[in-house]
Structure 1
Amino acid sequence: MALSKAVYEKELLRLQTNLVQLQEWVRAGGARLVIVFEGRDAAGKGGTIKRVAEHLNPRVARIAALPKPTERERTQWYFQRYVEHLPAAGEIVLFDRSWYNRAGVEHVMGFCTPAEYQLFLRQCPVFERMLVEDGILLRKYWFSVSDAVQEERFRRRTEDPLRRWKISPMDLESVTRWEAYSRAKDEMFVHTDTADSPWYVVESDDKRSARLNMIAHLLSSVPYEDVALPSLVLPPRPAPTGYERPPKALQTAVPDHAATLRKP
Protein backbone atom coordinates (compact mmCIF):
# COMPACT_ATOMS: atom_id res chain seq x y z
CA MET A 1 0.00 0.00 0.00
CA ALA A 2 1.45 3.34 -1.08
CA LEU A 3 2.19 6.03 1.48
CA SER A 4 -0.10 9.03 1.48
CA LYS A 5 1.48 12.33 0.54
CA ALA A 6 0.81 13.75 4.00
CA VAL A 7 2.49 10.84 5.81
CA TYR A 8 5.40 10.88 3.38
CA GLU A 9 6.05 14.61 3.68
CA LYS A 10 5.84 14.57 7.48
CA GLU A 11 8.34 11.72 7.80
CA LEU A 12 10.60 13.18 5.11
CA LEU A 13 10.79 16.46 7.04
CA ARG A 14 11.70 14.59 10.23
CA LEU A 15 14.43 12.65 8.47
CA GLN A 16 15.75 15.76 6.75
CA THR A 17 15.98 17.47 10.13
CA ASN A 18 18.11 14.57 11.32
CA LEU A 19 20.23 14.86 8.17
CA VAL A 20 21.03 18.44 9.19
CA GLN A 21 22.10 17.12 12.60
CA LEU A 22 24.25 14.52 10.84
CA GLN A 23 25.79 17.27 8.74
CA GLU A 24 26.70 19.30 11.82
CA TRP A 25 28.28 16.23 13.42
CA VAL A 26 30.35 15.64 10.27
CA ARG A 27 31.39 19.29 10.12
CA ALA A 28 32.21 19.72 13.80
CA GLY A 29 34.01 16.40 14.20
CA GLY A 30 35.93 16.41 10.94
CA ALA A 31 34.35 13.21 9.67
CA ARG A 32 34.38 12.28 5.97
CA LEU A 33 31.25 10.71 4.52
CA VAL A 34 30.88 9.28 1.02
CA ILE A 35 27.48 8.11 -0.23
CA VAL A 36 27.36 6.22 -3.53
CA PHE A 37 24.07 6.13 -5.44
CA GLU A 38 23.86 3.46 -8.12
CA GLY A 39 21.12 1.55 -9.89
CA ARG A 40 19.28 1.21 -13.14
CA ASP A 41 18.18 4.21 -15.17
CA ALA A 42 14.95 5.74 -13.81
CA ALA A 43 15.37 3.90 -10.50
CA GLY A 44 14.92 7.09 -8.48
CA LYS A 45 18.51 7.95 -7.60
CA GLY A 46 18.27 11.59 -8.64
CA GLY A 47 15.09 12.26 -6.71
CA THR A 48 16.53 10.69 -3.58
CA ILE A 49 19.77 12.67 -3.86
CA LYS A 50 17.69 15.84 -4.20
CA ARG A 51 15.82 15.07 -0.96
CA VAL A 52 19.00 14.17 0.90
CA ALA A 53 20.76 17.39 -0.09
CA GLU A 54 17.72 19.69 -0.04
CA HIS A 55 18.36 21.32 3.35
CA LEU A 56 22.09 20.68 3.69
CA ASN A 57 24.82 23.29 3.41
CA PRO A 58 26.35 22.96 -0.08
CA ARG A 59 29.71 23.95 1.41
CA VAL A 60 29.57 20.82 3.55
CA ALA A 61 27.57 18.39 1.42
CA ARG A 62 28.15 18.41 -2.32
CA ILE A 63 26.96 16.27 -5.20
CA ALA A 64 29.52 14.73 -7.54
CA ALA A 65 27.95 13.88 -10.90
CA LEU A 66 30.88 13.44 -13.24
CA PRO A 67 30.49 13.73 -17.03
CA LYS A 68 32.10 11.27 -19.38
CA PRO A 69 35.91 11.28 -19.04
CA THR A 70 38.07 13.56 -21.17
CA GLU A 71 40.75 12.17 -23.45
CA ARG A 72 43.34 12.96 -20.77
CA GLU A 73 41.31 11.25 -18.06
CA ARG A 74 41.02 8.14 -20.23
CA THR A 75 44.79 7.71 -19.92
CA GLN A 76 44.76 7.98 -16.10
CA TRP A 77 44.37 5.24 -13.54
CA TYR A 78 40.63 4.57 -13.65
CA PHE A 79 39.90 5.65 -10.07
CA GLN A 80 42.05 8.78 -10.32
CA ARG A 81 39.37 11.25 -11.38
CA TYR A 82 37.08 10.09 -8.59
CA VAL A 83 39.76 10.48 -5.92
CA GLU A 84 39.89 14.27 -6.37
CA HIS A 85 36.19 14.46 -5.49
CA LEU A 86 36.55 12.58 -2.20
CA PRO A 87 35.75 14.63 0.94
CA ALA A 88 38.18 16.41 3.19
CA ALA A 89 37.54 16.62 6.93
CA GLY A 90 34.06 17.86 7.73
CA GLU A 91 32.61 17.14 4.28
CA ILE A 92 29.97 14.89 2.72
CA VAL A 93 30.07 13.82 -0.93
CA LEU A 94 27.08 12.27 -2.68
CA PHE A 95 28.16 10.42 -5.83
CA ASP A 96 25.38 10.50 -8.43
CA ARG A 97 26.85 7.45 -10.11
CA SER A 98 30.45 6.70 -9.38
CA TRP A 99 33.40 4.51 -10.24
CA TYR A 100 30.85 1.73 -10.71
CA ASN A 101 30.17 3.04 -14.21
CA ARG A 102 32.86 0.62 -15.32
CA ALA A 103 31.00 -2.39 -13.93
CA GLY A 104 27.72 -1.25 -15.46
CA VAL A 105 27.25 0.89 -18.53
CA GLU A 106 30.88 0.76 -19.70
CA HIS A 107 30.96 -3.02 -19.51
CA VAL A 108 27.50 -3.63 -21.01
CA MET A 109 27.87 -1.07 -23.80
CA GLY A 110 31.44 -2.07 -24.66
CA PHE A 111 32.98 1.26 -23.65
CA CYS A 112 35.81 -0.56 -21.87
CA THR A 113 37.79 -3.64 -22.80
CA PRO A 114 37.28 -7.01 -21.08
CA ALA A 115 40.73 -6.60 -19.52
CA GLU A 116 39.82 -3.17 -18.11
CA TYR A 117 36.59 -4.62 -16.71
CA GLN A 118 38.35 -7.51 -15.00
CA LEU A 119 40.98 -5.16 -13.60
CA PHE A 120 38.22 -3.01 -12.13
CA LEU A 121 36.60 -5.98 -10.40
CA ARG A 122 39.94 -6.85 -8.81
CA GLN A 123 40.94 -3.32 -7.84
CA CYS A 124 37.60 -1.92 -6.65
CA PRO A 125 37.42 -3.85 -3.34
CA VAL A 126 41.03 -2.90 -2.62
CA PHE A 127 40.34 0.76 -3.46
CA GLU A 128 37.31 0.86 -1.18
CA ARG A 129 39.14 -0.93 1.60
CA MET A 130 41.79 1.81 1.44
CA LEU A 131 39.09 4.47 1.79
CA VAL A 132 37.54 2.74 4.80
CA GLU A 133 40.90 2.06 6.47
CA ASP A 134 41.75 5.74 6.10
CA GLY A 135 38.63 6.62 8.09
CA ILE A 136 36.17 7.51 5.33
CA LEU A 137 32.58 6.51 6.08
CA LEU A 138 31.49 4.78 2.87
CA ARG A 139 27.86 3.93 2.16
CA LYS A 140 26.78 2.31 -1.13
CA TYR A 141 23.13 2.18 -2.19
CA TRP A 142 21.77 0.22 -5.15
CA PHE A 143 18.32 1.38 -6.30
CA SER A 144 16.39 -1.56 -7.71
CA VAL A 145 13.46 -1.02 -10.06
CA SER A 146 11.34 -3.51 -11.98
CA ASP A 147 11.32 -3.55 -15.76
CA ALA A 148 7.64 -2.57 -15.92
CA VAL A 149 8.09 0.46 -13.64
CA GLN A 150 11.25 1.54 -15.46
CA GLU A 151 9.44 1.42 -18.80
CA GLU A 152 6.54 3.47 -17.45
CA ARG A 153 8.91 6.09 -16.03
CA PHE A 154 10.71 6.30 -19.37
CA ARG A 155 7.39 6.76 -21.12
CA ARG A 156 6.39 9.61 -18.82
CA ARG A 157 9.74 11.29 -19.40
CA THR A 158 9.33 11.22 -23.17
CA GLU A 159 5.92 12.90 -22.82
CA ASP A 160 6.79 15.50 -20.16
CA PRO A 161 8.74 18.57 -21.43
CA LEU A 162 10.02 19.18 -17.89
CA ARG A 163 11.51 15.68 -17.69
CA ARG A 164 12.54 15.17 -21.30
CA TRP A 165 16.16 16.05 -20.48
CA LYS A 166 16.29 13.10 -18.08
CA ILE A 167 16.13 10.53 -20.87
CA SER A 168 18.79 9.85 -23.48
CA PRO A 169 19.41 7.31 -26.24
CA MET A 170 21.62 5.48 -23.73
CA ASP A 171 18.66 5.17 -21.35
CA LEU A 172 16.48 3.75 -24.11
CA GLU A 173 19.21 1.27 -24.96
CA SER A 174 19.03 -0.06 -21.41
CA VAL A 175 15.50 -1.31 -22.11
CA THR A 176 16.72 -3.72 -24.78
CA ARG A 177 19.69 -4.76 -22.63
CA TRP A 178 17.77 -5.44 -19.42
CA GLU A 179 19.19 -8.92 -18.90
CA ALA A 180 22.73 -7.81 -19.74
CA TYR A 181 22.53 -5.12 -17.06
CA SER A 182 21.09 -7.68 -14.65
CA ARG A 183 24.02 -10.01 -15.19
CA ALA A 184 26.47 -7.12 -14.85
CA LYS A 185 24.90 -6.06 -11.55
CA ASP A 186 25.02 -9.62 -10.20
CA GLU A 187 28.69 -9.99 -11.15
CA MET A 188 29.48 -6.59 -9.63
CA PHE A 189 27.89 -7.62 -6.33
CA VAL A 190 29.88 -10.85 -6.25
CA HIS A 191 33.13 -8.88 -6.28
CA THR A 192 32.24 -5.66 -4.45
CA ASP A 193 29.61 -6.55 -1.83
CA THR A 194 32.22 -6.96 0.89
CA ALA A 195 32.34 -6.81 4.67
CA ASP A 196 34.37 -3.58 4.41
CA SER A 197 31.92 -1.84 2.07
CA PRO A 198 28.64 -3.71 1.61
CA TRP A 199 25.91 -2.82 -0.84
CA TYR A 200 22.54 -1.77 0.54
CA VAL A 201 19.65 -2.46 -1.84
CA VAL A 202 16.78 0.03 -1.99
CA GLU A 203 13.58 -1.28 -3.56
CA SER A 204 12.42 1.71 -5.55
CA ASP A 205 9.25 0.89 -7.47
CA ASP A 206 7.60 3.16 -4.87
CA LYS A 207 9.67 6.34 -4.94
CA ARG A 208 8.34 7.76 -1.68
CA SER A 209 9.13 4.60 0.26
CA ALA A 210 12.53 4.31 -1.39
CA ARG A 211 13.53 7.83 -0.34
CA LEU A 212 12.42 7.35 3.25
CA ASN A 213 14.02 3.91 3.52
CA MET A 214 17.35 5.08 2.14
CA ILE A 215 17.59 8.16 4.35
CA ALA A 216 16.47 6.29 7.46
CA HIS A 217 19.08 3.60 6.85
CA LEU A 218 21.84 6.16 6.30
CA LEU A 219 20.98 7.89 9.57
CA SER A 220 20.92 4.59 11.45
CA SER A 221 24.27 3.49 10.03
CA VAL A 222 26.30 6.54 11.04
CA PRO A 223 27.05 7.00 14.76
CA TYR A 224 26.34 10.73 14.74
CA GLU A 225 25.38 12.77 17.80
CA ASP A 226 23.63 16.07 18.28
CA VAL A 227 26.05 18.98 18.15
CA ALA A 228 25.35 21.96 20.39
CA LEU A 229 25.12 25.03 18.19
CA PRO A 230 25.96 28.53 19.47
CA SER A 231 22.93 30.60 20.37
CA LEU A 232 22.26 33.43 17.95
CA VAL A 233 20.73 36.74 18.94
CA LEU A 234 19.56 39.16 16.28
CA PRO A 235 21.13 42.54 17.09
CA PRO A 236 18.97 45.68 17.17
CA ARG A 237 18.97 47.73 14.00
CA PRO A 238 21.04 50.90 14.51
CA ALA A 239 19.47 54.34 14.22
CA PRO A 240 19.53 55.93 10.74
CA THR A 241 22.50 58.17 9.95
CA GLY A 242 21.09 60.03 6.96
CA TYR A 243 21.59 57.51 4.16
CA GLU A 244 19.25 58.00 1.21
CA ARG A 245 18.67 55.33 -1.39
CA PRO A 246 19.25 56.41 -5.02
CA PRO A 247 16.09 56.86 -7.11
CA LYS A 248 14.81 53.58 -8.56
CA ALA A 249 14.52 55.29 -11.92
CA LEU A 250 18.32 55.11 -12.19
CA GLN A 251 18.22 51.31 -12.07
CA THR A 252 17.18 48.74 -14.66
CA ALA A 253 14.36 46.79 -13.06
CA VAL A 254 13.17 43.32 -13.96
CA PRO A 255 9.74 43.59 -15.69
CA ASP A 256 6.85 42.73 -13.38
CA HIS A 257 5.68 39.57 -15.09
CA ALA A 258 3.73 38.56 -11.99
CA ALA A 259 1.53 41.63 -12.39
CA THR A 260 0.21 40.31 -15.69
CA LEU A 261 -1.10 37.24 -13.87
CA ARG A 262 -3.03 39.04 -11.15
CA LYS A 263 -6.75 39.29 -11.53
CA PRO A 264 -8.07 42.84 -12.02
Structure 2
Amino acid sequence: MKKINIVGVPEHFNLPWHLAIEDGAFHDRGIDLNWTDIPEGTGRMCQMLRDGETDIAIILTEGLVKDIVAGNPSKIVQVFVQSPLYWGVHVGSSSAYRNMEDLKGKKAAISRFGSGSHLMAYINADNQGWDYSDLKFEVVNNIDGAIEVLTEGTADYFMWEHFTTKPIVDKGIFRRIDDCPTPWPCFVIAVRDEVLSKNSSVIKHVLEVINIYTADFKDIPSIDRMLSNRYEQKIVDIQEWLSITRWSQENITPITVKNIQDQLAKLNIIESSLPYSKIVTNV
Protein backbone atom coordinates (compact mmCIF):
# COMPACT_ATOMS: atom_id res chain seq x y z
CA MET A 1 0.00 0.00 0.00
CA LYS A 2 1.50 3.32 -1.11
CA LYS A 3 0.68 6.29 1.12
CA ILE A 4 0.03 9.56 -0.70
CA ASN A 5 -0.81 12.79 1.14
CA ILE A 6 -3.26 15.17 -0.51
CA VAL A 7 -4.67 18.54 0.56
CA GLY A 8 -7.50 20.79 -0.55
CA VAL A 9 -9.98 23.33 0.72
CA PRO A 10 -12.96 22.07 2.75
CA GLU A 11 -15.43 23.05 0.05
CA HIS A 12 -18.06 21.35 -2.10
CA PHE A 13 -15.75 21.22 -5.16
CA ASN A 14 -13.77 18.45 -3.50
CA LEU A 15 -16.60 16.05 -2.66
CA PRO A 16 -15.59 13.68 -5.52
CA TRP A 17 -12.29 13.02 -3.69
CA HIS A 18 -14.08 12.20 -0.45
CA LEU A 19 -16.56 9.89 -2.15
CA ALA A 20 -13.73 8.02 -3.90
CA ILE A 21 -11.81 7.66 -0.63
CA GLU A 22 -14.93 6.50 1.24
CA ASP A 23 -15.71 3.98 -1.50
CA GLY A 24 -12.20 2.52 -1.21
CA ALA A 25 -11.51 3.30 -4.87
CA PHE A 26 -7.89 4.34 -4.23
CA HIS A 27 -7.36 1.53 -1.73
CA ASP A 28 -8.40 -0.96 -4.42
CA ARG A 29 -5.40 0.24 -6.47
CA GLY A 30 -2.99 -0.09 -3.57
CA ILE A 31 -3.05 3.60 -2.67
CA ASP A 32 -3.62 4.96 0.84
CA LEU A 33 -4.78 8.48 -0.08
CA ASN A 34 -4.61 10.61 3.05
CA TRP A 35 -6.74 13.75 2.68
CA THR A 36 -6.27 16.88 4.85
CA ASP A 37 -8.55 19.92 4.70
CA ILE A 38 -6.71 23.25 4.48
CA PRO A 39 -9.14 26.09 5.29
CA GLU A 40 -6.36 28.69 4.87
CA GLY A 41 -6.38 27.96 1.13
CA THR A 42 -3.87 28.20 -1.69
CA GLY A 43 -1.08 30.16 -0.01
CA ARG A 44 -0.82 27.56 2.75
CA MET A 45 -1.01 24.66 0.28
CA CYS A 46 1.81 26.16 -1.82
CA GLN A 47 3.96 26.22 1.30
CA MET A 48 3.05 22.61 2.10
CA LEU A 49 4.14 21.53 -1.40
CA ARG A 50 7.43 23.39 -0.93
CA ASP A 51 8.03 21.87 2.50
CA GLY A 52 7.13 18.31 1.45
CA GLU A 53 4.16 18.25 3.84
CA THR A 54 1.89 17.06 1.04
CA ASP A 55 2.35 15.16 -2.21
CA ILE A 56 -0.71 16.49 -4.06
CA ALA A 57 -2.70 19.71 -3.75
CA ILE A 58 -6.07 20.59 -5.26
CA ILE A 59 -5.27 24.21 -5.64
CA LEU A 60 -6.23 27.48 -7.32
CA THR A 61 -4.62 27.73 -10.74
CA GLU A 62 -3.29 31.29 -10.57
CA GLY A 63 -1.84 30.82 -7.09
CA LEU A 64 0.05 27.71 -8.06
CA VAL A 65 1.37 29.18 -11.33
CA LYS A 66 2.66 32.20 -9.39
CA ASP A 67 4.40 29.96 -6.86
CA ILE A 68 5.95 27.65 -9.47
CA VAL A 69 7.40 30.73 -11.19
CA ALA A 70 8.76 31.71 -7.76
CA GLY A 71 10.48 28.33 -7.36
CA ASN A 72 7.91 25.86 -6.05
CA PRO A 73 9.19 22.42 -7.18
CA SER A 74 5.80 21.16 -8.36
CA LYS A 75 3.88 20.67 -11.60
CA ILE A 76 0.29 20.83 -12.77
CA VAL A 77 -0.75 17.34 -13.87
CA GLN A 78 -4.40 18.08 -14.69
CA VAL A 79 -7.21 20.59 -14.45
CA PHE A 80 -9.65 19.57 -11.72
CA VAL A 81 -12.42 22.16 -12.21
CA GLN A 82 -12.64 23.66 -15.69
CA SER A 83 -15.22 26.34 -14.97
CA PRO A 84 -14.32 29.70 -13.42
CA LEU A 85 -14.46 30.33 -9.69
CA TYR A 86 -16.95 33.02 -8.77
CA TRP A 87 -15.31 35.21 -6.16
CA GLY A 88 -17.87 37.10 -4.13
CA VAL A 89 -16.76 40.58 -3.09
CA HIS A 90 -18.01 40.96 0.49
CA VAL A 91 -18.27 43.73 3.06
CA GLY A 92 -19.53 43.66 6.64
CA SER A 93 -23.30 43.91 7.01
CA SER A 94 -23.04 47.32 8.69
CA SER A 95 -20.54 48.67 6.15
CA ALA A 96 -21.34 51.95 4.41
CA TYR A 97 -19.90 50.58 1.14
CA ARG A 98 -22.64 49.75 -1.33
CA ASN A 99 -20.97 49.23 -4.71
CA MET A 100 -17.63 48.31 -6.19
CA GLU A 101 -16.53 51.88 -6.73
CA ASP A 102 -16.87 52.51 -2.98
CA LEU A 103 -14.06 49.98 -2.42
CA LYS A 104 -11.47 51.84 -4.49
CA GLY A 105 -8.42 52.48 -2.30
CA LYS A 106 -9.86 50.44 0.60
CA LYS A 107 -8.21 47.57 2.47
CA ALA A 108 -8.82 43.95 1.40
CA ALA A 109 -8.79 41.09 3.90
CA ILE A 110 -6.80 38.13 2.50
CA SER A 111 -6.10 34.67 3.86
CA ARG A 112 -2.37 35.12 3.19
CA PHE A 113 -0.08 36.61 0.58
CA GLY A 114 -0.02 34.47 -2.56
CA SER A 115 -3.51 33.16 -1.84
CA GLY A 116 -6.44 33.38 -4.21
CA SER A 117 -8.01 36.13 -2.13
CA HIS A 118 -4.78 38.12 -2.54
CA LEU A 119 -4.28 37.54 -6.29
CA MET A 120 -7.94 38.03 -7.17
CA ALA A 121 -7.91 41.43 -5.47
CA TYR A 122 -5.46 42.44 -8.21
CA ILE A 123 -7.63 40.90 -10.94
CA ASN A 124 -10.66 42.71 -9.55
CA ALA A 125 -8.77 46.02 -9.36
CA ASP A 126 -7.66 45.59 -12.96
CA ASN A 127 -11.23 44.85 -14.04
CA GLN A 128 -12.37 48.07 -12.33
CA GLY A 129 -9.59 50.17 -13.83
CA TRP A 130 -8.08 50.93 -10.42
CA ASP A 131 -4.41 51.59 -9.75
CA TYR A 132 -3.58 48.20 -8.26
CA SER A 133 -0.23 49.45 -6.92
CA ASP A 134 -2.33 51.18 -4.23
CA LEU A 135 -3.99 48.00 -2.98
CA LYS A 136 -3.82 47.48 0.79
CA PHE A 137 -4.16 44.14 2.59
CA GLU A 138 -4.74 42.61 5.99
CA VAL A 139 -3.89 38.93 6.50
CA VAL A 140 -6.73 37.07 8.26
CA ASN A 141 -5.83 33.37 7.61
CA ASN A 142 -9.37 32.11 6.96
CA ILE A 143 -13.07 32.98 6.77
CA ASP A 144 -13.39 33.30 10.56
CA GLY A 145 -10.61 35.88 10.53
CA ALA A 146 -12.36 37.73 7.71
CA ILE A 147 -15.62 37.82 9.67
CA GLU A 148 -13.76 39.33 12.61
CA VAL A 149 -11.99 42.12 10.69
CA LEU A 150 -14.98 43.06 8.52
CA THR A 151 -17.21 43.19 11.58
CA GLU A 152 -14.67 45.29 13.51
CA GLY A 153 -13.92 47.46 10.47
CA THR A 154 -10.13 46.91 10.45
CA ALA A 155 -10.43 45.75 6.83
CA ASP A 156 -13.04 46.80 4.30
CA TYR A 157 -13.76 43.92 1.95
CA PHE A 158 -13.04 40.22 1.48
CA MET A 159 -13.08 38.08 -1.66
CA TRP A 160 -14.00 34.40 -1.29
CA GLU A 161 -15.91 31.79 -3.26
CA HIS A 162 -19.53 32.87 -3.77
CA PHE A 163 -21.29 29.73 -2.58
CA THR A 164 -18.97 28.98 0.35
CA THR A 165 -19.72 32.42 1.77
CA LYS A 166 -23.44 32.37 0.87
CA PRO A 167 -24.52 31.06 4.33
CA ILE A 168 -22.58 33.95 5.93
CA VAL A 169 -24.39 36.38 3.63
CA ASP A 170 -27.74 34.73 4.43
CA LYS A 171 -27.08 35.18 8.16
CA GLY A 172 -26.53 38.90 7.63
CA ILE A 173 -22.85 38.82 8.65
CA PHE A 174 -21.52 39.66 5.18
CA ARG A 175 -23.12 41.63 2.37
CA ARG A 176 -22.08 40.71 -1.16
CA ILE A 177 -21.47 43.65 -3.45
CA ASP A 178 -20.60 41.76 -6.64
CA ASP A 179 -18.90 38.70 -8.11
CA CYS A 180 -15.54 38.49 -9.87
CA PRO A 181 -15.06 35.27 -11.89
CA THR A 182 -11.60 33.91 -12.67
CA PRO A 183 -10.71 34.28 -16.36
CA TRP A 184 -9.37 30.67 -16.44
CA PRO A 185 -10.11 27.18 -15.03
CA CYS A 186 -10.19 27.55 -11.27
CA PHE A 187 -8.71 24.40 -9.69
CA VAL A 188 -5.80 22.23 -10.82
CA ILE A 189 -4.15 19.11 -9.46
CA ALA A 190 -0.55 19.85 -8.46
CA VAL A 191 2.09 17.27 -7.56
CA ARG A 192 5.58 17.74 -6.15
CA ASP A 193 8.39 17.03 -8.62
CA GLU A 194 9.99 14.50 -6.27
CA VAL A 195 6.77 12.50 -6.14
CA LEU A 196 6.42 12.64 -9.92
CA SER A 197 9.96 11.34 -10.41
CA LYS A 198 9.56 8.47 -7.94
CA ASN A 199 5.87 7.57 -8.15
CA SER A 200 4.50 8.72 -11.51
CA SER A 201 2.56 5.47 -11.98
CA VAL A 202 0.86 5.98 -8.62
CA ILE A 203 -0.16 9.52 -9.61
CA LYS A 204 -1.49 8.16 -12.90
CA HIS A 205 -3.71 5.76 -10.95
CA VAL A 206 -4.90 8.60 -8.70
CA LEU A 207 -5.94 10.61 -11.76
CA GLU A 208 -7.68 7.63 -13.35
CA VAL A 209 -9.78 7.11 -10.21
CA ILE A 210 -10.76 10.74 -9.65
CA ASN A 211 -11.61 11.18 -13.33
CA ILE A 212 -14.12 8.34 -13.11
CA TYR A 213 -15.78 10.09 -10.17
CA THR A 214 -15.85 13.58 -11.65
CA ALA A 215 -17.11 12.39 -15.04
CA ASP A 216 -20.26 10.98 -13.42
CA PHE A 217 -20.49 13.26 -10.39
CA LYS A 218 -23.56 15.26 -11.45
CA ASP A 219 -25.44 12.03 -12.25
CA ILE A 220 -25.20 10.63 -8.71
CA PRO A 221 -28.76 10.27 -7.38
CA SER A 222 -29.66 13.08 -4.96
CA ILE A 223 -26.15 14.58 -5.23
CA ASP A 224 -27.68 18.00 -4.56
CA ARG A 225 -29.05 16.82 -1.22
CA MET A 226 -25.77 15.16 -0.27
CA LEU A 227 -23.85 18.36 -1.01
CA SER A 228 -26.43 20.47 0.82
CA ASN A 229 -26.20 18.31 3.94
CA ARG A 230 -22.42 17.94 3.99
CA TYR A 231 -21.59 21.56 3.35
CA GLU A 232 -24.55 23.17 5.14
CA GLN A 233 -25.76 24.94 2.01
CA LYS A 234 -29.31 25.62 0.88
CA ILE A 235 -30.27 23.08 -1.76
CA VAL A 236 -31.30 25.84 -4.20
CA ASP A 237 -27.78 27.32 -3.94
CA ILE A 238 -26.19 23.90 -4.50
CA GLN A 239 -28.38 23.35 -7.56
CA GLU A 240 -27.29 26.71 -8.98
CA TRP A 241 -23.65 25.89 -8.25
CA LEU A 242 -23.93 22.46 -9.91
CA SER A 243 -25.42 24.08 -13.01
CA ILE A 244 -22.37 26.33 -13.56
CA THR A 245 -19.58 23.98 -12.42
CA ARG A 246 -17.68 21.71 -14.83
CA TRP A 247 -15.05 19.24 -13.74
CA SER A 248 -12.24 18.26 -16.09
CA GLN A 249 -10.36 15.11 -17.02
CA GLU A 250 -7.81 16.93 -19.20
CA ASN A 251 -4.60 18.85 -18.62
CA ILE A 252 -4.33 22.62 -18.79
CA THR A 253 -3.55 24.02 -22.25
CA PRO A 254 -0.44 26.00 -23.20
CA ILE A 255 -2.49 29.05 -24.19
CA THR A 256 -4.21 29.08 -20.78
CA VAL A 257 -0.86 28.94 -18.96
CA LYS A 258 0.42 31.76 -21.19
CA ASN A 259 -2.67 33.86 -20.48
CA ILE A 260 -2.31 33.37 -16.73
CA GLN A 261 1.36 34.32 -16.75
CA ASP A 262 0.69 37.32 -19.01
CA GLN A 263 -1.99 38.57 -16.61
CA LEU A 264 0.18 38.02 -13.52
CA ALA A 265 3.07 39.83 -15.20
CA LYS A 266 0.82 42.74 -16.20
CA LEU A 267 -0.20 43.10 -12.55
CA ASN A 268 3.46 42.92 -11.41
CA ILE A 269 2.75 39.74 -9.45
CA ILE A 270 5.48 37.83 -11.32
CA GLU A 271 8.64 39.29 -12.83
CA SER A 272 9.24 36.61 -15.45
CA SER A 273 7.48 33.71 -17.16
CA LEU A 274 8.36 30.04 -17.48
CA PRO A 275 7.94 27.67 -20.44
CA TYR A 276 4.87 25.45 -20.35
CA SER A 277 7.03 22.37 -19.67
CA LYS A 278 8.31 23.93 -16.43
CA ILE A 279 4.78 24.36 -15.12
CA VAL A 280 2.84 21.43 -16.56
CA THR A 281 3.56 17.75 -17.09
CA ASN A 282 1.63 14.67 -18.21
CA VAL A 283 1.80 11.40 -16.30
Shorter-chain TM-score above 0.5:
no
Calculate the TM-score normalised by the size of structure 1: 0.34
Calculate the TM-score normalised by the size of structure 2: 0.33
